[in-house]
Structure 1
């Protein structure tokens, strides 16, 4: 059975991701996923990146790209796919996240772009470093297959 490596262990996360990734019996990948990756998925494990937060003074210097690359390299042997949901954290409700005002102020969320522009910027960043989007599966969930060489790293 596929296992989930996830920073956020909530049951809702498992349900949501298993809906997109795994077949009805949860023992193999969803047929659409298999076809998209041309049957080149080595493992049945899904690595989910649930959030990346970078302090303002460190943004724009490649830390996010490097972090994702390092994560990819370190876990490449233990997962079939790496996935994430494209959603800018500055668009989430502080109350929903349980974040305090001091943390939000330190992160500068109130100064960051919101809405479709924020989503599109984040999506383009991830696509630029090698994630793939399959709009017929989801417009917000993107994947990297560690079995396939990622020339963008």
Structure 2
């Protein structure tokens, strides 16, 4: 049996969408969606009463996000097909963002992770304090 080079194995893994291979497209997609701004933007859009939000509303809803990061993240989400951008030619111009069907399917998952973090932060923080305390005594 012929041996394969590391490059050949990586190419085969990439073709099989193995997220544990750095060059795999799924690994790159996981890196994108694990960004904190992505999760918060998708979660905010998923909670929008009208189904869409204006740029300024998103900026107010998400504490700490800069205009630059909000713009870059929205553009990347639009490029990936997770968010749609609708421009209404009024004075001033109105721009609305909404989840696409694909974005909604991911938004549900990320909203669950957000809720988990909100519900379990005290538990995690207690474990951190106990761990740090144990390190201080050694």
Which of the five TM-score ranges fits, normalised by the shorter chain?
under 0.3
- Larger fraction in helix: 2
Structure number with higher relative contact order (C-alpha < 8 Å, ≥ 6 residues apart): 1
Higher Rg: 2
